[in-house]
Amino acid sequence: MPKVDINDSKGLYETPGSGLYRNGVEISSTASELDSLYLCADILDISSAANDCFVPCPVDGTLVAAYATNSGGTPGATATFTIQVGGTGTSTLVFASGDVSGTVKSDTTLDMSVTAGQSISLDNDGGASGARRLNVVFVVEHTT
Amino acid sequence: MPKIDFNDAKGVVSTAGSGWLRNGVEISASAGQLDRYTLTGKITGLNSGGEHVYVPVPATGTLVAVYSSVSGDPGAITLIRVHNAAGSSLGDITIANASSAGDVDMLLALSSAVTAGTYLRAISDNGATNAVDAYITFVIER
């Protein structure tokens, strides 16, 4: 169980322990976390189905998760958002009528290929009765 | 002072110099920088009461800094309060009166645990007299 330090003074330096270090400081992230980037977007008023959000993806990769949180109050009715890559996708994030501000919905089981230059989006069904806001973070893992 | 290259063709290659390379290209980031990621959201209308932004957290870690960039002169001192998901204040970012578009203010040296699946929040104190916006960037260390 060596502790491996990529050290500018010593080179690849192994000592008892575990973990990956850079110049004596541990890199805590997992491989998938190091491969991940996070793309943020929002919908200012989720009560209209015309209001979707699109964010361009700058790398080739796999969309592995999406997290969203509402604010401004409860949706007032069920609000459904479909996660799409290039306009295609069926997984949804569903907010209930009474979900208070700060409720977080997520899908961490996504496995959707995305190409640099494609858009990742949430297709809003406009189900909310109130002009509430939604912020979303898409998690993309790089592929080579 | 070896230079270490994790090379797909050669394996781990140590040569004279220093630094960490991947297939011959240096990885300049430090351990802390590699562990960090950022989340950005927008507060619309700093002059409107209680305008805020909630941003979902996708990976557990520690909030270490928050940055604000304003879209124009707020017309008065404006405070952006940062909250964690428990509702606790983590401090205020102060945007000065007469700030210009693009001015950046920040809250540094934070050390607040955040959990995947929760949120971070930034809220205006409604100090602004002009209808300007601010982008907020949260820096999280995994």
| Position B21 in a domain | no
Q: What does the pLDDT look like over B86-121, one tens digit per residue?
A: 999 999 999 999 999 999 999 999 999 999 999 999
The residue type found at B43 is I
* Alpha-carbon torsion (A117, A30, A102, B42), positive or negative: negative
SS3 A53: strand
Separation in Å, CA of A8 to nearest CA in chain B = 5
| Position B122 in a domain | yes
| Position B12 in a domain | no
Q: Which of A34, A36, A104 sits opposite B56 (nearest CB)?
A: A104
Separation in Å, CA of A105 to nearest CA in chain B = 7
| Position B61 in a domain | yes
| Position B77 in a domain | yes
CATH number of the domain that residue B81 is part of: 2.60.120.260
The domain of B52 spans: 31-141
Q: Kindly determine whether residue A36 and residue B59, on different chains, have CB atoms separated by under 8 Å.
A: yes
For chain A, give every domain's residue range: 1-33, 35-142
Fold of the domain spanning A35-142: Jelly Rolls (2.60.120)
Q: What does the pLDDT look like over A48-103, one tens digit per residue?
A: 999 999 999 999 999 999 999 999 999 999 999 999 999 999 999 999 999 999 99
| Position B26 in a domain | no
Residue with the bigger pLDDT between A143 and B55: it is B55
B contact test, residue of A4, A5, A23, A27 with most B CBs within 10 A: A27
pLDDT band at B48 (very low <50, low <70, confident <90, very high): confident
